[in-house]
Copies of this chain bind each other. A is one copy, B any other.
Amino acid sequence: MASTIHDVAKLAGVNPSTVSRVINGKASISEETKEKIYAAMQQLDYHPNSVARSLASGLSGAIGVVMDAHDANAFSNEFFSRSLFAIEQVAQAKGYNVIIANSAKRMGGVSSIENLMLERKVDGLILPPSTVKPALLKKVDAFPYVVLGQPDIARQGTCWVDVNNEQGSALAVEHLYKQGYCRIAYLGGDGGTGFVKRRIKGYHSALKSNDAPMIFPTDGTTQEAERNTADALRLPQPPDAFLCNDNITAFGALQALKKAGRKVPADIGVAVFDNYPLAMYTDPPLTAVNVDTAMLGEETARLLFQRIERHITNRQTMLSTSLIERESSCRM
């Protein structure tokens, strides 16, 4: 049924290698033969077999995007799926396919990352920071990969693209100061690992020197955010502004503030990391540190392709955030 390059060659009266060259735009082929070949391809509805092509060329024509999702929620992580969208776009423009894999699962003792790499299913990998561990690095090292996020393990030569969490926090804190808030707290997060660590660092750095840092970690639920907010308000010197680690946390904070009868933004200011669609629909709408996830995915994919094509060997990119000012923090 499906025609091969030999069928095309026979119909066009040429050698398969000539057809191959026409398809790949290599060498010089006369216009005359080109046309004969195109006609034959058309007539036979020929589509090159990408598998055979990969075998011969040594390139799979696919990149792998791995995530460490342990449940469906992690998978539906807005941050990830938005980046994925951009990655797919860049890949498609390059004629590449995107294979997704969950690193959490293993087959026969070999992680899906190694599997994609060792069985030559992909030409490059986009990895989450959590998978970047010495054992893997040793195996992946000679393979083109880019980390989407900043890995905790520093290692020269590891390419990564991340949003500037420090700068984002600082941006929000400075904004809150400008709006006249003076006792700014950081609400949510696990207290300080991975990107939360960097956000808190940025929070610290932007705090005025005589202001005491107030950090209230949570387990990520709205409920605990609500509890912690309520507790914070009962402190002798309560915060008058909250920078929230994520939207779910901010949601809890807003509810606690409402129940406590505090007006936002008049009494208390609220800002949040990440501009989820939800953020503009709360009451009041939330000021948010905006992460350009499309750009993030795009940059990551581009960097990966540069590595695949050997144009570059080493680069770390930090994307700046912007602040979307909404009612929750603007009393002026």
Chain A residues at the B interface, C-beta cutoff of 8 Å: 2, 47-52, 54-55, 60-62, 69, 71-73, 75-76, 78, 81-82, 84-86, 88-89, 92, 95, 97-102, 105, 107, 112, 116, 118-121, 222, 248, 251-252, 255, 258, 277-278, 280-281, 283, 293-294
Contact = CB atoms under 8 A, between A and B. Distances in A.
B60 A88 contact: no
A277 B248 contact: yes
Contacts of A277: 73, 248
A40 B69 CA distance: 35
A100 B101 contact: no
B101 A222 contact: no
A50 B118 CA distance: 9
Given A119-B50, A121-B50, A85 B69 contact: yes
A85 B76 contact: yes
Contacts of A102: 85, 88-89, 92
Nearest to A71: B85
B118 A47 contact: yes
B105 A89 contact: yes
Given A48-B119, A75-B85, A222-B280, 4 more contacts: A51-B60, A76-B81, A89-B102, A248-B277
A184 to B, nearest CB: 24
Contacts of A75: 81-82, 84-85
A72 B85 contact: yes
A100 B84 contact: yes
A293 B73 CA distance: 11
A85 B102 CA distance: 8
A102 B54 CA distance: 22
A95 B81 contact: no
| The 8 residue pairs across chains A and B that have the minimum distance between CB atoms | A75-B85, A47-B118, A50-B119, A76-B81, A72-B82, A72-B85, A222-B281, A51-B54
A120 B50 contact: yes
Contacts of A76: 76, 78, 81-82, 85
A99 to B, nearest CB: 5
Nearest to A78: B76
A236 B99 CA distance: 56
5 contacts: A51-B54, A51-B60, A72-B82, A222-B281, A248-B277
B92 A101 contact: yes
A264 B283 CA distance: 17
Contact of A51 (B55, B78, B278, B294): B55
Contacts of A48: 119
A294 B99 CA distance: 20
B97 A49 contact: no
A75 B76 CA distance: 10
